[in-house]
Every structure is written in C-alpha cells, then in structure tokens.
Structure 1
Amino acid sequence: MTTFLTPRQRADRTSAAVEAAVEAGRGLGLTITGPTVLHDVFSVVVHLAPSPVVARIPTVLSRPDDLAALARRQQDELDVTRWLADRNIPVIAPSPLVPREPVQHDGYSMTFWPFVEEARDREPDYVENAESVADLHAALRAYPGHRLEFLSAADPRFIADSLVLLDRHPDLIGAAELDRARREWQVLEPLVRSRSAFETRFPGIDLQPIHGDSPPANIFNAVDGDLYADFELVALGPVEWDLAALGPEHEAAYNRGARRNGMRPLDKEVLAFVNAVGMLRVIAALTLVPQLPELMEYLGPAVDRWQTTPFAGGMNS
C-alpha cells in the first residue's frame, strides 16, 4: 500500500524549507525578521519580510535528490524572466537584491523574487489570459533559446519512470488504466524525446521558446497590473503546449491574440498531441500523491475524463 505524508510531516517539511530560505537569505545580506508563507503546494513560497523578497523553494519533486537538474531549470527561468523584463514585458523578474542564480541550502534549491502585492479583489479572467499568451509568445520568439531543451516541460524521464513505479501503487491507478497509459506512451514518447521526429510528424510547425506550464493560469494579478509568472518549465516547443487541456474557448481567444501579433493559429493536430502528452503527465503525477496527498482530488477526476478520450490523442491513426 502507498504511504502518504502525514499533516505533521507536511508541516515539518514546510518549516524546514522556510528555515533554509531564511538562512540562505541572511547569508545573501537580506534582513529577515518575519518570514511569511504565501503559498505551499508544489513549492513553499515565503516572503522574507521585511525585505521585499520572496523565496520559492520546490518541495514536491519527481527526483528530489537531483538538485543539479533542478538548478539548471531554475537558471533557465531566471534568465528568461530577466530577458523579458529588460524588454519591458510585464513579468515577475528575479529580485535585484541578490545574485541571479539558484541558491542551494540544507538540501533545497531555491530562487529569489521581488515581493509583489496581489490584487485579491480581482478574479482572474482565464479566457482573456489565453489571448494575452499570444503576446508573450510573440515576445519570446526573439529569445536566444539555444540553451532550452526541446519539450523539456513534458519531462519524458518523469513520465517513463512513473509508468514503471505505478506498478507499486495499485491504490492510485488500476491495472487497465496503467496498461493504456503505457501503450499510449509507446506512441507518443518518440515525438516528445526527438525534435526531428516531431518535425517529421508535424511539418511546418515552428518551434520557439514557450512558457511550459499553462501560462493562462500563471498570470499574477498584481495591484499595478497583470504579470506573467512561474516560468519553471520554460522550454523549446510548439506554442500549442502552452494551451494544452484548456478547451475551445481558450484556444479561440489565443487565436485572436495570434492574429493580432501576425502569428499562426493553433494547429488542431498538434493540440491533440500536446493534450495527450499532458494527460500522461497527469498519470505520472500520481507518483507525487504520497508527497502531496490532496493532489488526488484533482488527478482522480482527470484520469476519469482521460479514459473517455481517443487513444493517444489519435496519434496512432
């Protein structure tokens, strides 16, 4: 049976992450007397008050021992957000009060950002956000993304490893569902791991730097205006990846923004592909449930919906 993190263990993990961030922040010269946790799901996000600095410490990880890989991804995020800010794109950029690099302390790898006040009285408009993503893509096209990996946001190693590990967790997914996921991955994996295979399957689909993690849901409602945020999965890929699983209304909104920017509309076949890969990431995320038990409330219904969708998004036809 699967062993889940207890509430006490969860609280201890949060406390340890906060303590690591405080010690690291003080080591960088920040004055910290009243750290306040702002967010605690996949990462602990803590305001290092009274300094106007927020530390983000990933705590729910597929490979918690591989801090080097995490730091490389964090450096990509720091670099691209600084680049966007330098071009006056509305984005949460790295804090100017500390060096622009990940900091490792007590087994955690963290990044530092400015404290931005949230407009809590304003509900996000995700359809409007989807249209705005086209503006972000237009800006990112000029980013020198030679360091970005093709579809690293999909994390194919995580998917492949998880489809093996889930044998040990029959209480998280049934045998028939796991078998389907593995067969789908056989179809989709070559297109995720190989840029040339993707380009052969989808000729004419341009690749560019993309946000990587559903940017319509990661636009921060700041008091002074919306800001693009959370580029933790920034990658090279098709723009469709950033609209995966959002549905026709959001796709139509993005296409309006694309036309405004002189860019191509979303491609239906590529959308089917990224939606299928995204669902396998949902299956893979079941392996994170022991670290974050409430995650099952969201993943369970998604797995149920996945079983009603075409096999591998129709990529096997």
Structure 2
Amino acid sequence: MGPLAEGAFRVLREVCEDLGIDHRDAELLRVRSNAVFKLRSRIVVRIATAPNARTRLPLVLAVARWLAQQGFPAVRPADEISDQPVTHEGRVVTFWHYVPASGQPTTTELGEILRSLHLLPVPPVALKRFADPLAELRGTVDGSAVLTPCQRAWLRDRIAELSERWAELDMDGSPVLLHGDAWIDNLLRCTDGHVVLCDWDGVAVGPREWDLVHTYHGQRRFGLSAADVDAFADAYGSDLRSWPGYSTLMEIRDVYAVGIHIRNAGADPFSRNELPRRLDSLTRGEQHTRWYMSEPATVSP
C-alpha cells in the first residue's frame, strides 16, 4: 500500500471514529484526486485533497440535493450523516449512497445523460463560473517540487498560450450546468439497468463544450474507438468535431490532464510513472500516444 492510500485509511478511520461510524472492512475503491472507500453500511466515503475542497464541496452537495429534487439520475449524498462536509487535518470528507454497478455503460448513454443535464436550468446555488480551465494547473506547476526546471518552463509557456486561445473561443450557446469531469468512467450502470452520473466535484456553470470534450479526448489518449465517439455525438445531438474551436479545446484538455499526476507524483508510484509519459508526448507534439488511468498491465489495449 502506497503513502496516498495509507494516509487516506488513517483519515477514514479517525473521521469515522469521531462520527461513530463503523469503518471495519472498508474497501478502497480508488485513490487519485480523491480517496474513495465503500463501508459495510453501503456508504461511500470520499476524501478530497484539493486546495479549494473546503469551499467547493458544500456547493457540490447542494447541487446533488437539487438534482435529486429534479429527478436527475445522479449519485445522492448520504444525508443521514449530518454536518457534511467534514474537515480533518486539511482533508475534506463527504458521504454518499453506494450505487451497486452492473455492466459497462456506453458512450450513447453518456451522450443522452449529458444532453439531459445541459437542458436543466442552472440551479440556485452559488456555483463558480468555469472561466479558465488551466487556472488550477497554473498554481500546481508553480508550486511543484517534482517538475524539472525545463518541464516547468515548458508548461508555463504552454499554459499561457492556451489560456489566450481559450479566451478567444466562440462558445456555442448560453452557459449550462456542467458536470465538469464527464468521462465514461463517471457513469455507473445500476443493477436495474439505468445509469447515473457520479463524481460531481467539478460541477460548475460554463460552456457545454467542456463536458463534451472528455469523450473525444478519450479516443485520443485512453482507448475509446471512433465508433464510441460517433455514438456519443449522435446521442448528444451535435458533434464537437465540427466546432471551429475543437483543436484548441483538445490541446487544453491534453495539458489539463497532467495536473493530477503533478500533484500526486511525490507519493503515488503510478503518477510518478504516468507523469513523464504524458509530458514527453506533449513536449514532442505526439497527439495519439496512449495514456493510462491505472497501471498499463490492468488496462485493455
């Protein structure tokens, strides 16, 4: 078990003991930007590390409750645990109802659910406006101890260039409610067959293109097929590839996707290996080098 997981287990144990929650036999589901555990009570515990988690997560919970009122298929907070979120030693902890998953969702279903999300009104919650996708990465690069001077200089220049190009993009339509990380792995198929969206940490108000680009980027970097992307576009009702800002948005998404591994490389062996893979391909201008969400040996080609 690596340092990230060890630290997350300690936080889980201490928070659950403070709240009188049984944490025995807790199962670690994921540890990256969040550590995610499933308890025997079928509660999911999410432990966040992002610098803005303390101010952001109350809004995430508020949006999740509003989505429940709208009948939208999303994960639900475990509101039987009061006074969420809980802060412990700089980590911010939230509790959610577990969704038993069965089978792999399709990009058609992802396109359909995003179309429904983007047709909703903006909720009465003080959500941030999604104005600069690389703002957090800018701070991560400046404060990182794992980057070489050359890597840091390249990233600073690239972020500055892409931020200028982002500001010049002509977005299509009014701002909408964004999921913020609308990747196929954040869609769960329930045992009754319907699908729900999870991981709302990036929820915001902004251009719909940001939610759409994840699937197209999945073909470039993470193994989705052209048929997957075609099915997604058909289900959503428009194809991002026909938008003039497509190439710029894909380049922004490429650079954005190194941020988590810069933040985690000091403590996570996988991020330590994945970071140079991503940076090397970016600095060489390689647009189709395969990237990974987990160790390559566990990922299908």
State whether TM-score is above 0.5: yes
Query: Residue in 1 aligned with 2:112?
Result: 132
The 8 Å contact of residues 104 and 188 in structure 2, kept in 1 or not, is answered as: no
What's 1:313 paired with? none
Deviations 1:238-280 (A, max 9, x none): 2221223134545433332233xxxx54353333233222222
Aligned positions of 1:244-283 closer than 5 A = 244=214, 245-247=217-219, 249-259=227-237, 265-266=239-240, 268-283=243-258
How much has 1:36 moved relative to structure 2?
Answer: 1.0
When residues 38 and 301 of structure 1 are mapped into structure 2, their CA distance, relative to the original with a 3 A threshold, is same
2:27 alignment counterpart: 37
Instruction: Figure out how many residues of one structure are paired with residues of the other and give that number.
Output: 273
Residues 99 and 269 (structure 1 numbering): CA distance in 2 closer, same or farther, change over 3 Å?
farther
Query: Partners in 1 of 2:163 and 2:132 — Cα distance?
Result: 13
1:292 aligns with 2:268: yes
Does the 8 Å CA contact 2:60/2:203 hold for their aligned counterparts?
A: yes
Q: Separation in 2 of the partners of 1:8 and 1:287?
A: 16
**AA matched with 2:27:** V
Report what 1:154 is aligned to: 133
Question: TM-score scaled by structure 1?
Answer: 0.73
State whether structure 2 residue 161 is matched by structure 1 residue 187. yes
Q: Check whether the contact 1:153–1:213 (CA below 8 A) recurs between aligned residues.
A: no
Secondary structure at the aligned position of 1:113 is classed as: strand
Q: Percent identity?
A: 19
Kindly provide the amino acid, as one letter, of the partner of residue 9 in structure 2: S
- Change over 3 Å in CA distance of 1:191–1:101 after alignment to 2: farther
User: Unpaired runs of 5+ in structure 1?
Assistant: 1-6, 64-68, 311-317
Q: Which amino acid aligns with 2:233?
A: N
In structure 2, do the counterparts of structure 1 residues 300 and 222 end up closer, same or farther at CA, with 3 Å as the change threshold?
farther
Q: Paired residue for 1:3?
A: none
SS at match of 1:95: coil
Q: Distance in 1 between matches of 2:129 and 2:165?
A: 10
Instruction: Identify which of 89, 103, 115 aligns with 2:72.
Output: 89
Q: Quick check: 1:70 aligned with 2:53?
A: yes
**CA offsets per residue over residues 211-247 of structure 1, 9 Å max, x none?**
1113322012322332110011111222221223134
User: The residue matched to 2:218 in structure 1 has which SS?
Assistant: coil
The code of the aligned residue for 1:56 comes to R
What residue is the counterpart of 1:123 in the other structure?
A: 104
The one-letter amino acid paired with 2:128 is E
Structure-2 change in CA distance of 1:90 and 1:24 (3 Å): farther
1:54 maps to what in 2? 44
| Closer, same or farther: CA 218–8 of 1 in aligned 2, 3 Å | closer
Residues of 1 paired with 2:38 and 2:187: CA distance? 19
Distance 1:133 1:46, change over 3 A: same
Counterpart of 1:211?
179
Q: Over aligned residue pairs, what C-alpha RMSD do you find?
A: 3.0
What TM-score, normalized to structure 2?
0.77
Check 1:203–1:8 CA distance in 2 against 1; reply closer, same or farther (3 A cut): closer
What is the identity, as a one-letter code, of the residue corresponding to 2:258? I
